[in-house]
């Protein structure tokens, strides 16, 4: 099957293009971007054609991988699904519940497969840990700290307009939720959502299984303090999310594998557009609570 890449920014350069160009099940067919010169440069680097017209690329492929800001991704995902193209999307699915719902509706109506790239869920060690803890059950509480230094370092993502606008809640919040939801169950209630230093947001969640979780999310942590931690406490004792030996490229290769499998079998992947939309709904609720916060 043929897959095209939509997007030419740092994430497309660092992860998507290398993962697709070396994939066994997908034929990397070309690149489209909002900046034609950047599209040509990225396409030339991987020996594939650059497209000036996104519709022309959609006509030539079976699927698309998207590395674009959430609002642009949502719009193009709807167009691609309606054209019958399978979707390898990034998190967050969309910046609003309404835009995310439009993607889910388009996917369902077209009958295409979708996989959303929550990095941690596609790394072997952490994926196995999530599966094991979900099967164990009996969890009482969880603590997740997802601390990035995007805005306090020379990160290539620091200039990203959508990250500057939406902050850590929407950038690293999806990662934390992608681990907690399959283990603790869906969120029944966002009990609290408050601001911390910089773009930091602190959440308290009530899960349908009866457990609670606390999340600390930031892109403005000191570089020396950056990192991700998830700790579970319950009947099985205490356990923490393991480190991963992989990188973003290898995780994206596994996500592309998952999309291929979903296309072949017709079975939805756990990290499909429907799951990503539920994450969007939780983030939107938390965002509204943070925005309404008073002294």
**Tokens matching residue 169:** 């809640």
Distance, first Cα to last Cα, the chain: 55
d(CA 143, CA 120): 16
pLDDT at 120: 96
Burial letters 226-257, b for 16+ CB under 10 A, else e: bebebebebeeeebebeebebebebbbbbbbb
Q: Report pLDDT for 46.
A: 97
Name the phi and psi angles at 217, rounded to 5: -125, 130
> How much is the pLDDT for 113?
98
pTM of the model: 0.96
Domain boundaries, the chain: 2-120+249-271, 124-244
The answer to whether residues 5 and 117 touch, using CB atoms and an 8 Å cutoff, is no
Cα R_g (the chain), whole angstroms: 19
Task: Note the pLDDT of residue 293.
Answer: 78
Q: Is the CB of residue 68 less than 8 Å from the CB of residue 7?
A: yes
- Of 3.30.70.20, 2.30.110.10, 3.40.50.300, 3.30.360.10, the CATH number of 124-244 is 3.30.360.10
Question: What are 36-68's pLDDT values in tens digits?
Answer: 999 999 999 999 999 999 999 999 999 999 999
| Residue numbers of the chain with a pLDDT score lower than 70 | 294-295
Res 152: pLDDT: 95
Determine contact, residues 114/89, Cβ cutoff 8 Å.
yes
For residue 22, what pLDDT is reported?
A: 84
pLDDT (0 to 100) of residue 246: 86
CATH T-level topology, domain 2-120+249-271: Rossmann fold (3.40.50)
Q: How far apart, in whole angstroms, are the C-alpha atoms of residue 10 and residue 28?
A: 18
- The rounded percent of the chain whose pLDDT value lies above 70 is 99
Alpha carbon distance 226, 263 (integer Å): 37
As given in the structure block, the two tokens for residue 67 are: 């590395």
| DSSP H stretches of helix in 22-90 | 36-45, 54-60, 70-82
Q: What is the pLDDT of residue 161?
A: 95
């Amino acid at each position: 099957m043929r897959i095209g890449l939509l997007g030419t920014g740092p994430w497309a350069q660092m992860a998507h293009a290398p993962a697709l160009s070396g994939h066994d099940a997908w034929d990397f067919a070309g690149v489209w971007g909002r900046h034609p010169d950047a599209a040509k440069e990225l396409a030339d680097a991987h020996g594939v054609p650059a497209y000036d017209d996104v519709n022309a690329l959609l006509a030539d492929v079976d699927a698309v991988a998207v590395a674009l800001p959430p609002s642009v991704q949502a719009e193009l995902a709807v167009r691609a699904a309606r054209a019958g193209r399978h979707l390898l999307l990034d998190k967050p699915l969309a910046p609003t519940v309404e835009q995310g719902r439009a993607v889910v509706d388009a996917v369902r109506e077209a009958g295409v497969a979708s996989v959303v790239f929550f990095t941690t869920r596609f790394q072997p060690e952490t994926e196995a840990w999530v599966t094991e803890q979900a099967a164990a059950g009996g969890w009482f509480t969880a603590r997740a700290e997802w601390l990035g230094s995007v805005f306090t370092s020379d990160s290539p993502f620091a200039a990203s307009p959508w990250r500057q606008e939406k902050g850590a809640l929407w950038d690293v919040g999806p990662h934390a939720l992608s681990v907690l939801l399959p283990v603790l169950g869906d969120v029944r209630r966002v009990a609290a959502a408050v601001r911390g230093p910089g773009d930091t947001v602190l959440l308290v969640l009530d899960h349908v299984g009866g457990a609670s979780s606390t999340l600390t999310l930031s892109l403005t942590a000191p570089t020396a303090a950056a990192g991700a931690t998830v700790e579970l406490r319950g009947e099985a004792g205490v356990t923490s999310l393991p480190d991963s030996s992989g990188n973003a490229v290898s995780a994206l290769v596994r996500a592309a594998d998952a999309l291929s499998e979903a296309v072949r079998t017709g079975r939805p992947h756990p990290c499909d557009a429907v799951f990503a939309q539920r994450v969007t709904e939780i983030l939107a609720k938390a965002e509204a609570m943070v925005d309404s916060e008073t002294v």
